[in-house]
Amino acid sequence: MSDPEKEEVEDPKIEEIKSPEPTMGSHLKYISLGILVFQTTSLVLTMRYSRTLKEDGPRYLSSTAVVAAEVLKIITCIFLVYKDNSCSVRALNRVLHEEIINKPFDTLKLAIPAVIYTLQNNLLYVALSNLDAATYQVTYQLKILTTALFSVSMLQKRLTKFQWLSLVILMLGVTFVQWPTDSSSAPSKDVSSGSRFMGLMAVLTACFSSGFAGVYFEKILKETKQSVWIRNIQLGFFGGIFGLVGVYAYDGDSVSKGGFFQGYNNLTWTVVVLQALGGLVVAAVIKYADNILKGFATSLSIILSTLISYFWLQDFVPTSVFFVGAIFVISATFLYGYDPKPSVNPVKA
Ligand code: C5P
């Protein structure tokens, strides 16, 4: 992968005006968005499947899977930095020293989104252990609203009236999707109302953390010159540490009895790889596109995972109200991205 950020280091404002670049940059934009659609869909389905599959022996501890994904992400990012530095170990060493170890204050800034993402990544497992994949994904679209609010307050972004309207439609849609769930025609099986409430709380909290952490990371990326992979190493470093704290706080006993990787199987490793890939792709999307286009990609993945959940996993029978709600949510996402006058860069610094 080329390194467009390298040539643009002098002035972050210049980078902002140029972004997204018409050639390599826009390719990267669409490639990263496409991979995000694939990754979001497959992660949600495999995670849900892996948490509900009946198996002999202990189920894997989701807190350890979060840590495993962080470690995998760091290794991948180190490899990408190595590749960007002409595959020279010496240059890699120098860059890691100069950009991470010699800039402790700068590195420390990433501890904030790291702690939030760690919480969020754990909440995601709670949500998907208690909600079906489709309900989870549609409700999680509320993060577009929180992302918008944080973008307005932290990036001084201005929203058009279409965008505000789309946020209202979004909230209506999410309400519809949640409406008649616990009746006799309840769409999900094996889900009690108590655990469903817990799943909903988890996903709603994740909406706030996603909005804040996404905008914070976008701000750091667009206001400073470090490469996205360096930023992700810093993020992953803290993410791994906070994740380990989580493992020992919640699953310390189980780990000392059954080991860190108890219950891991191929499916668990698939979830770990998909989650690590997700982190890398989200970072690339924030860098080459922005948080709004990220919303588009996740909406497309809703359509995909609903279809797969219905036809393939058969763990979800959508009611007509669900369909209306889902259509509202998806239309709102597209309306949010609708820009009557094309602008090069949605963020006003
Ligand atoms: O749902 P949302 O888009 O907020 O999910 C973001 C995901 O991407 C989280 O799992 C987070 O840990 C990950 N991420 C990352 N590196 C970034 C930004 C996000 O690993 N730079």
**CB contact at 8 A, 183 and 247:** no
Contacts of residues 282-286 at CB distance under 8 Å and 24 or more positions apart, as own/partner, are 282/36, 282/214, 283/217, 283/228, 283/229, 283/231, 283/232, 283/235, 284/28, 284/32, 284/228, 285/29, 285/32, 285/33, 285/36, 286/214, 286/217, 286/218, 286/221, 286/228
Q: How many angstroms separate the CA atoms of 291 and 329, rounded? A: 17
Render the burial of 183-221: b for 16+ CB within 10 Å, e for the rest: eeeebbeebeeeebebbbebbbebbbbbbbbbbbbbbbb
Domain count, the chain: 1
The pLDDT value given to residue 224 = 85
Whether omega for the bond prior to residue 340 falls within 30 degrees of 0, making it cis, is: no
Taking each helix axis as running N to C, give the angle between helix 133-140 and helix 193-223, from 0 to 180 degrees, rounded to the nearest 10: 40
- Residue nearest to ligand 1 atom 13, measured at CA: 279
Q: Rounded to the nearest whole angstrom, what is the distance from the C-alpha of residue 33 to the centroid of ligand 1?
A: 14
Is position 8 within any domain?
A: no
Is position 113 within any domain?
A: yes
What's the chain's length in residues? 349
Is position 14 within any domain?
A: no
Is position 58 within any domain?
A: yes
SS3 letters for the chain? Answer: CCCHHHHCCCCHHHHHHHCCCCCHHHHHHHHHHHHHHHHHHHHHHHHHHHHHCCCCCCCCCHHHHHHHHHHHHHHHHHHHHHHHCCCCHHHHHHHHHHHHHCCHHHHHCCHHHHHHHHHHHHHHHHHHHHCCHHHHHHHHCCHHHHHHHHHHHHCCCCCCHHHHHHHHHHHHHHHHHHCCCCCCCCCCCCCCHHHHHHHHHHHHHHHHHHHHHHHHHHHHHHHCCCCHHHHHHHHHHHHHHHHHHHHHHHHHHHHHHHCCCCCCCHHHHHHHHHHHHHHHHHHHHHHHCCHHHHHHHHHHHHHHHHHHHHHHHCCCCCCHHHHHHHHHHHHHHHHHHCCCCCCCCCCCC
Residues 17-58: tens digit of each pLDDT: 344 444 566 778 778 888 998 898 898 888 878 878 877 778
- Residue nearest to ligand 1 atom 12, measured at CA: 117
The pLDDT value given to residue 292 = 67
Is position 18 within any domain?
A: no
Atom of ligand 1 nearest to the CA of 239: 12
Atom of ligand 1 nearest to the CA of 70: 20
Pocket test for ligand 1, best of 44, 115, 117 (most atoms within 8 A of CB): 117
The pLDDT value given to residue 48 = 79
The pLDDT value given to residue 157 = 84
Q: 203, 231, 237: which is closest to 219 by C-alpha?
A: 231
Is position 19 within any domain?
A: no
**CB contact at 8 A, 302 and 329:** yes
Is position 265 within any domain?
A: yes
Can you give the residue range of the structural domain that contains 278?
Answer: 32-338
Q: Rounded to the nearest whole angstrom, what is the distance from the C-alpha of residue 273 to the centroid of ligand 1?
A: 14
Is position 142 within any domain?
A: yes
- Residue nearest to ligand 1 atom 2, measured at CA: 210
Per-10-residue mean pLDDT of the chain, 349 residues long, equals 40 40 66 88 85 80 94 96 94 94 93 93 88 82 87 88 87 75 46 79 95 93 88 94 93 95 93 93 85 74 75 74 85 76 47
Q: 177, 199, 225: which is closest to 129 by C-alpha?
A: 199
Provide φ and ψ at 185, rounded to 5°.
-95, 30
- Residue nearest to ligand 1 atom 16, measured at CA: 279
Q: Which residues contact 123 (CB under 8 A, 6 or more apart)?
A: 202, 203, 205, 206, 209
